[in-house]
Amino acid sequence: MTASDTRPAESGTAAANGRQFPPGFLWGAATASYQIEGAAAEDGRTPSIWDTFSRTPGKVFEGHTGDVAADHYHRFRDDVRLMADLGLGAYRFSVSWSRVQPTGRGPAVERGLDFYRALTDELLEHGIQPVVTLYHWDLPQDLEDAGGWPARDTADRFGEYARIVADALGDRVQMWTTLNEPWCSAFLGYGSGVHAPGRTDPVAALRAAHHLNLAHGRAAEALRSVLPARAQLSITLNLHQVRALTESAADLDAARRIDAVGNRVFTGPLLDGAYPQDLITDTQRLTDWSFVQDGDLAAIGRHPLDALGVNYYTPTLVSAGAAPEGPRSDGHGASEHSPWPGANDVTFHQPPGERTAMGWSVDPTGLYDLLARVSREHPGLPLLITENGAAYEDAVGPDGTVDDPERIAYLHGHLDAVLKAVESGVDVRGYFLWSLMDNFEWSYGYSKRFGAVYVDYDTQVRIPKSSAHWYAGVVRTGSLPVEPTTA
């Protein structure tokens, strides 16, 4: 089953226990290599920027690292059986670049590729479709030392790496994602510095954004030259659902500016063939965009997407005017440096209502509005929800179970938003829960738990939470219960 195998059902389709998702709707869960694999120095793997960043004092909660994480590298067969028990139809995982190509250049380390070959085979043996993400933020440190994403050469190296992985897995993997959330890689990694590599240069962040776009183009070219025609090509974006605090012209313009550098910096070249002129105008005091060379835009969009991956957790609320002292309420971590080049004078607001353990507002209407907008602006483009989920303060109860009704309510509300979008004609073809299991949550270390499966990091015991059992029921029936309960 691939993204192209499904079509939206007619509005109002019902099942005895709730509203029905379209036939063939793809149900899965997602993870990322550095967050779960561990084995950080085994079988030829060398440090990525996240290995270096997590060892930099003060960058990650209590100095946590991904050295062991959830030990998925050694426990993947058990983890795949767990996925099968939950009835998942697909598993979205990322490949560690430095495990496959330690310096980001040259030949592959076969031992690294062998892990992904074995994982893919195990998934297929259990009837689970592998969905490969080539890059989920763990750039080989050698490439960062050579300039990182602000350097044009990194995009070329990424194309070569994509070809290596496609050669190894292309006969078994049909769904391919080039990049996960390039906005975070560019603007949190090189703008605000709250993500690896921790640099704080707005021009470097804009250069990184362009070279990530170019890297997608280079990878798409490599994938299309190697993979069978049936292979599906995608990219995953964490599109911001930006809302103005008021309908004033100033607040609406603030929302426009955040939309430009938060969304259209990627959707413009990827889907429309150009960077938006207002983004270039907003940032002209920083750069003349001369790093965009002749032929780049054609290379970025040469190979059309078979699906766009959409990651969504919470909406973004903004107004005009200088932000108050202290960390901005943009949900992307505390820093004295902004991840929003050209929009430093925009104020972010915490929306009212319930929040997750990340402090993020719970608002499924943002997901519906986002999907509707993408569908309206890019008709005919299939969509996949490639990440959606929430962190809560989970704990093992006296009976050895983990009850997380807040997460069930969160998932119910957001799946309801997805279903409403489908019923209104939006071509959404699948949903991947973030995350399959608790993991290393970047700068928050192991202090935040997003998983449907609880991980005891001392023993590596896995305990499916009540949300995992609830989600398994949705997957099994293909329908959304009327109420978000386990009963």
| Catalytic sites, residue numbers | 181, 387
Instruction: Assess whether the previous peptide bond of 319 is cis (omega < 30° from 0).
Output: no
**Cα separation, 331 vs 137, whole angstroms:** 18
Sheet (strand 479-480) strand order = 14-15, 18-20, 479-480
Tokens, residue 343: 């929009």
Instruction: Assess whether the previous peptide bond of 197 is cis (omega < 30° from 0).
Output: yes
In 3-state terms, what secondary structure has residue 401? coil
251 contacts 320 by C-beta, under 8 angstroms: yes
Tokens, residue 421: 């979008």
In 3-state terms, what secondary structure has residue 161? helix
Instruction: State which amino acid sits at residue 248.
Output: S
The dihedral of CA 284, 287, 293, 295: what is its sign? negative
Q: Residue 186: CB partners within 8 Å, gap ≥ 6?
A: 149, 205, 206, 208, 209, 212
The dihedral of CA 300, 305, 311, 315: what is its sign? positive
Triad 133, 136, 142: Cα angle to 5°: 115
**Cα separation, 200 vs 205, whole angstroms:** 8
The dihedral of CA 276, 280, 282, 283: what is its sign? positive
340 contacts 209 by C-beta, under 8 angstroms: no
| Strand-strand pairing, 26-30 and 428-434 | parallel
**Cα separation, 144 vs 150, whole angstroms:** 9
Tokens, residue 27: 């149900």
Cα 309 off chain centre by: 8
**Cα separation, 470 vs 485, whole angstroms:** 8
